[in-house]
A = this chain, B = another copy of it.
Amino acid sequence: MSYVAPVKDMLFCMNALAGLDQVARLPGFEDAGPETAQAVLEECARLNEGVIAPLNATGDRQPSAWKDGEVTTTPGFKEAFRQFGEGGWQGLQHPVDFGGQGLPKTIGAACSEMINSANLSFALCPLLTDGAIEALLTAGSPEQQARFLPKLISGEWTGTMNLTEPQAGSDLAQVRTRAEPQPDGSYRIFGTKIFITYGEHDMADNIVHLVLARVSGAPAGVKGISLFIVPKFHVQADGSLGERNDVRCVSIEHKLGIKASPTAVLQFGDHGGAVGMLVGEENRGLEYMFIMMNAARYAVGVQGIAVAERAYQKAVAYARDRVQSRPVDGSTPGAAPIIHHPDVRRMLMTMRAYTEGCRAMALVAAAAYDAAHAHPEADARRDNQAFYEFMVPLVKGYSTEMSLEVTSLGVQVHGGMGFIEETGAAQFYRDAKILTIYEGTTAIQANDLVGRKTTRDGGATARAIAARIEATEQALAARSDADAQAVARRLAAARRAFLDVVDFIVAQGRANPNAAFAGSVPYLMLAGNLMAGWQMARALMAAQDLLAHGEAGGPTDAAFLRAKIATARFYADHLLVKAPAARDAIVEGADSVTALALEAY
């Protein structure tokens, strides 16, 4: 099997760290307790391990292909997507009213990790469809919801996000696609969109494009952007499909990775105008799109975790199998599998610790999302929402940046074989590189962290989280074992570094924005490292407690718990340890970032 879903670790994170029992007390999630989670995850694992994972290498070798405006996806994708839809997986987190399963994000996020581990390219189609569903749930009219949501949720149709234009990448103020109001209340859309993931394909009966465009006469900049539904095929009042709309895929890109996922250039309105329906109100498009983007940003963070997990599994398998050189400790008389060599262990542990740390961080954030939406008390909703929003740029930014390092180590473990495409490790390295770019580059995430998430509330949310981390340190320090003591020390140093940086960012934000933003990505990396390290520290205590109280059993057996302790200790010793240097670079090195004269580059 090329991929085995880490169901044990996912359940541990949900139960011991994210508080799934609390989630299951929220109104609407009463059936979503640990037993449901286990059943769902095991069923999800079967589909992804058996059907979707084997298509990953195929997709790299036989990518989506464009001909005369049509895109043919990799052999096997269409049938696998049919199974995915019929299994109810597209609707996992979506409302029961529209045919979904209504499960919490805490469970949905784990399932999302699985499909992304199985096949990053394939998983992008449901990922984007999720975004379209979220946007319509939030801002669509009841009629739009009734017309589009059931088909999207069933997987019969798919969705896209149309933001980027050649001159408008990170800078959506420069969007030029225009929308002309028609007497019947519809709009005609004209323009070119690029980088549209699954903008054209053969896996579904219809594609629901959500498109940012400017209504004639709208204000300049981001305050003049509206959101439109532009279906590939018109949808009649009775729900049946009509004529083709005036949107055409003129080409797809030749990319470094995720080759099976078609990245389309879409041309709207070359034959009189594509018919679009306004979503919500005019000029509020960016606001709605942010709903999709926030869901998508979190999901892309999960993609980072997913590809890291897959790269880790492949590297472990190779390291167990490949025999080369005698161990330095002389533990075997001759050459041994390379997993016996300390540096191979260091690489594998680095991959494992990053992946487990980010998974824990993401699932804890997901539980906050669930509470933010479903908690009966307003205070709890507000606090959880603030926590979740702080975590989104970290889940996105840190988990994807770490995936670059993890997939690079994955190639490295394979030595020369890693560089040969047939081996498969290189695909993860190529695929992962998009994750730090799309749905907002790491710098865009860091701008969000610095601006909306830190300086806007004067650092209050950041400091509140730091106080929770300090409580974890105290609980660790109260334990007598060396692991807890060591982790407590590293966690405290990282938390203090984080607080220093928060103070610096808040102080500089207005006065000297160049200094604050010079450290934005290092701040994001420090914060992500701290949050993942914090969850690993909590995991260490939970594992110790389960071992001591004999509560281990079922998925969390003693071997698993001991491994969790070792991995948490490794995280603190080798990853969390880097945090203080980031503080020094940000606080003391801000000026040297912009000191070089522009003409000297």
Task: Give chain A's interface residues, CB within 8 Å of chain B.
Answer: 164, 167, 169-171, 173-174, 195, 253-257, 316, 319-320, 323-325, 328-329, 335, 339-346, 348-349, 352, 404, 408, 411-412, 415-416, 418-422, 426, 429-430, 433-434, 436-438, 441-443, 446-447, 486, 513-514, 516-518, 520-522, 559-560, 562-563, 566-567, 569-570, 573-574, 577-578, 580-581, 584-585, 588-589, 592-601
Contact = CB atoms under 8 A, between A and B. Distances in A.
Contacts of A566: 592, 595-597, 600
Given A254-B420, A593-B349, A339 B173 contact: no
A21 B374 CA distance: 75
A412 to B, nearest CB: 6
Contact of A253 (B316, B345, B420, B436): B420
Q: Is the interface of A mostly helix, strand, loop or mixed?
A: helix
Given A256-B419, A518-B342, A596-B563, A577 B569 contact: no
A430 B420 CA distance: 11
Given A348-B601, A416-B438, A437-B412, A592 B577 contact: no
13 contacts: A167-B323, A170-B324, A170-B325, A171-B324, A171-B325, A256-B421, A341-B443, A343-B443, A344-B443, A412-B441, A573-B588, A577-B585, A578-B581
B578 A592 contact: no
List the number of copies, as a whole number. Answer: 2
A520 B437 contact: no
Nearest to A515: B342
Nearest to A513: B328
Contacts of A570: 589, 592-593, 595-596
A433 B419 contact: yes
A592 B578 CA distance: 16
Contact of A581 (B345, B411, B415, B581): B581
Contacts of A441: 412, 415
B517 A343 contact: yes
Given A255-B419, A344-B443, A570-B589, A600 B562 contact: yes
Contact of A520 (B342, B436, B593, B594): B342
Contact of A596 (B174, B344, B567, B585): B567
B173 A598 contact: no
Given A195-B416, A335-B174, A415-B441, A573 B592 contact: yes
Residue from A349, A442, A522 having most chain B Cβ neighbours under 10 A: A349
Contacts of A324: 169-171, 174
Contacts of A341: 443, 517
A434 B408 CA distance: 11
Contacts of A588: 486, 573
Contacts of A169: 324, 415-416
Contacts of A164: 416
Given A171-B325, A345-B518, A577-B589, A436 B416 contact: no
